[in-house]
A and B are shown apart, each in its own frame.
Chain A
Amino acid sequence: MSHRQATAKRRSDAPASPPPLFRASRALDAIATTALPRAPLMREIDAAADYLRYIRRELAALGANELAKGQIPAAAQELDYIIEDCAEVSNVIMTAAEQVMAERDMEPEAFRAFVAERMTTVILQCAVQDISAQRARRIQAVLATIERRLARIATFIATRDMPEIVDFEPDSTGSEPYRPMIGPAPRGAGNDQESIDRLLALPHGDD
Chain B
Amino acid sequence: MQIDSSTPILVVDDYQTMIRIIRNLLKQLGFEDVDDATDGVEAMTKLRQRKYGLIISDWNMEPMTGFELLKTVRSDDALKTTPFIMVTAESKTDNVIAAKKAGVSSYIVKPFNAQTLRAKIESIFGE
Chain A residue numbers with a CB within 8 Å of B112 are 193
Query: Which of A6-14, A56-64, A93-101, A134-142 forms contacts with chain B?
Result: A93-101
Interface size on A, residues (CB 8 A): 24
Please give the distance in Å from B60's CB to the nearest CB on chain A.
Answer: 6
Residues of B within 8 A of A87 (CB): 17
The answer to whether B79 has its CB under 8 Å from any CB of chain A is: no
A-B contact pairs, 25 of them (CB 8 A): A90-B17, A91-B17, A94-B20, A97-B24, A182-B60, A184-B90, A184-B91, A184-B110, A185-B90, A185-B92, A190-B92, A190-B109, A193-B109, A193-B116, A195-B93, A196-B91, A196-B96, A196-B108, A196-B109, A197-B107, A199-B93, A199-B97, A200-B100, A204-B101, A207-B100
Q: A91-B17, A94-B20, A94-B21 are in contact. Are A200 and B95 (CB under 8 A)?
A: no
Interface string of B94-107 (1 = CB under 8 A from A): 11110011001011
User: Interface size of B by Cβ–Cβ distance < 8 Å?
Assistant: 24
Residues of A that sit less than 8 Å from B by CB: 87, 90-91, 94, 97-98, 101, 181-185, 189-193, 195-197, 199-200, 204, 207
Chain A at the B interface: SS class: helix
* B interface residue numbers (CB < 8 A to A): 17, 20-21, 24, 60, 89-97, 100-101, 104, 106-110, 112, 116
The minimal Cβ–Cβ distance linking A137 to chain B, given in whole angstroms, is 23
Considering the complex, give the chain B residue whose CB is closest to the CB of A207. Answer: B97
